[in-house]
Amino acid sequence: MSRTRFGIALLPLLALLVTCARMGTSPQHVLPRLTAKDMDPALGYEAAPTLRASDLFAPEIIASRDHRVHEEVATDGFLRIYRIDSDFGRFEAAGDIELLQRVQEIRALAAFEELVDVKAYAAAGDSAGRDPLVERWELVVDPVDTAIGVPPELWQQVLRVSHMHPDQRMPEEQALRRAVLDFEAAKRRLGRRVGVNVYGDNRPLQRELNRAAWTISAGGYPLDGVPSLAESSIAPLPEDVLPARRVEMIFSNDSPEDLRRRNYIELAVLGVPSDEIEAFLAHPAYSPLRKTGVVEALVGLEPAKNRGAYLIPASMAQTPRDAFFRMMSSFILRFHHVKVAPIEQLVLLNNGRTPAAYTSEGKLIVAAQVDYLLWSRPIEGFVRGLASAELPDLKIEAREIWLSGEASPKARREIEALGIRLVQRVFETMVPRLAGETQ
């Protein structure tokens, strides 16, 4: 497949926005970790301010009976870093979107806590606990806290059976595989019902999702007995950015194996070489849903050229948070293509590290998820490079940066002074139902 590569000395804006945070640890940004000199006001740059959570979000996001967001909010020049105390532990959220997701997860944890007092749920849990497989591995009494939902030893057994030809499976092996598949399906439906990502890294939530999913699949508890939180979700959902029919088909019904097969076919149709497809689909930083999110965004850019090129920077992800930013940036490009103006082709800047879009209006667009962009030395280098970038055989009529959040007044002035239009708060335009959550 043809690749459009331009050796422009741009610091990749998307790569700037990588964090490798885990819950309860301090976020670390891979590129760049801004130094004092990068943000030195004496050199014309901005020092990181301390913000107030109550100035940024609606009161119900900041506090409830189950959680409280600390009032002081740090920023590193790209993302706001939130600290959350809750009845279920202390969490950190790197970015506005992750804060909404964390609060939605706490709401789900509170709902599961209330289920404990429901007699039918307790009875179904007892029934599930007597299932030979569940009892042996204590899957309800002591559920695992990972997205897989079963201990590693059991998962290896399931994989071994899955790789066997169906005719070679013993009845007990077939029953094992069927039980785990039923559990996976119950967990996916459960996650959709409470409005959370079943492949997330919230370990307390994973425990309760796994306990409830086994209670549903092995104990017979009805899914509609679980409180429905999706319709009132304060976090973004797949249907906020993708067609509902695709979401229902892909995110609710397909197992990780189904998603992998579907993604492989979609990328092959785009002309991506098989080795690049395999590398992306095996990438450890991406959950099955995030891989699917990127693929669906690229499919939604039809008939733009060179869509598969996005996998080059996407495959450079180093952490799950990096993968999240690549996915969110692809959603912004899809939104532009569908709602604003068609994208004619994707191009790669900075030797393949920074994806950009060339539109039917002759605009060169870079999209990124940023809460609050400060004017720093790396950003100055990036913006100056973007302002002077040229594309062979393509006439650039305008240059734009699309941010999910906003830039500081100084950053905005500096960017616009270089002839680049800044489009801000794109996330709220993409997901208008959540606009009221921010202040």
Q: Write down the pLDDT at residue 2.
A: 36
Three-state secondary-structure class, residue 254? coil
Helix (H) or strand (E) holding 67: strand 67-69
Helix or strand run (H / E) with residue 415? helix 409-417
Start-to-end CA span in the chain (Å): 45
pLDDT of residue 71: 98
For residue range 27-85, list pLDDT tens digits in order.
Answer: 334 356 788 999 999 999 999 998 999 999 999 999 999 999 999 999 988 999 999 99
The pLDDT of residue 247: 84
Lowest mean pLDDT: which of 14-18, 303-307, 335-339, 374-378? 14-18
373-395: buried (b, 16+ CB within 10 Å) or exposed (e) per residue? bbbbbbbbebbbbbeebebeeee
Give the pLDDT confidence score for residue 6 in this predicted structure. 33
248/155: higher pLDDT: 155
Structure tokens at 1: 């497949």
Q: Are strands 398-403 and 420-423 parallel, antiparallel or unpaired?
A: parallel
- pLDDT tens digits along 224-282: 999 999 999 999 988 898 888 888 777 767 778 888 999 999 999 999 999 999 999 99
Instruction: Give the whole-angstrom CA distance, residue 206 versus residue 268.
Output: 33
| 13 pLDDT tier (thresholds 50, 70, 90) | very low
Instruction: Return d(Cα 434, Cα 438) in angstroms, integer.
Output: 8
Cβ distance 57 to 405 under 8 Å? Answer: no
SS3 per residue for 365-414: EEEECCCEECCCHHHHHHHHHHHHCCECCECCCEEEEEECCEECHHHHHH
Q: Is 129 left (phi over 0), alpha (psi -120 to 50) or beta?
A: alpha
Annotated domain spans of the chain: 13-52+237-437, 118-236
Confidence band, pLDDT 50/70/90 cuts, at residue 351: confident
> Of 360, 338, 343, 309, nearest to 243 (Cα)?
338
Of 175, 103, 95, residue with least CA distance to 132: 175
The pLDDT tens digits for 408-428 are 999 999 999 999 999 999 999
pLDDT at 31: 52
Give the pLDDT confidence score for residue 352 in this predicted structure. Answer: 84
Greatest pairwise CA separation for the chain in angstroms: 73
- Average pLDDT score over residue span 158-163: 88
Q: Does the pLDDT of residue 19 top 50, yes or no?
A: no
The C-alpha atoms of residue 122 and residue 113 are separated, in whole angstroms, by: 12
pLDDT digit string, tens, across residues 299-334: 999 999 999 999 999 998 888 888 888 999 999 999
Please give the Cα distance from 29 to 104 (Å, whole number): 24
* 3-class DSSP state of 90: strand
Residues, the chain: 439
Confidence of residue 439 (pLDDT cuts 50, 70, 90): low
Cα Rg of the chain (Å, integer)? 23
All residues at 6 or more sequence positions from 15 whose CB lies less than 8 Å from its CB, including other chains: 30, 31, 313, 316, 322, 353, 354
Task: Evaluate the CA torsion angle 45, 6, 331, 12 in order and state its sign.
Answer: negative
* Contact criterion met (CB below 8 Å) for 381 and 413: no
Sign of CA dihedral 92, 94, 96, 97: negative
Whether 16 has a pLDDT exceeding 80, the answer reads: no
Buried b (16+ CB within 10 A) or exposed e, 149-181: bbbeebeebbeebeeeeeeeeeeebeebbebbe
Cα 191 to its chain centre, rounded Å, is: 15
| Percent of the chain clearing pLDDT 70 (strictly above) | 92
Prediction pTM value: 0.88
Of 6-15, 189-198, 222-231, which range is least confident?
6-15
User: Among 12-26, 161-175, 189-203, which stretch is predicted with the lowest mean pLDDT?
Assistant: 12-26
Q: What's the confidence (pLDDT) of residue 365?
A: 98
State residue 22's pLDDT score: 33
78: helix, strand or coil = coil
Per the structure block, which two tokens stand in for 387? 């302002």
Average pLDDT, the chain: 89
**Model confidence over 78-127: pLDDT tens digits?**
999 999 999 999 999 999 999 999 999 999 999 999 999 999 999 999 99
- Name the residue with tokens 């800044």: 422
Is 287 in contact with 245 (CB distance < 8 Å)?
A: no
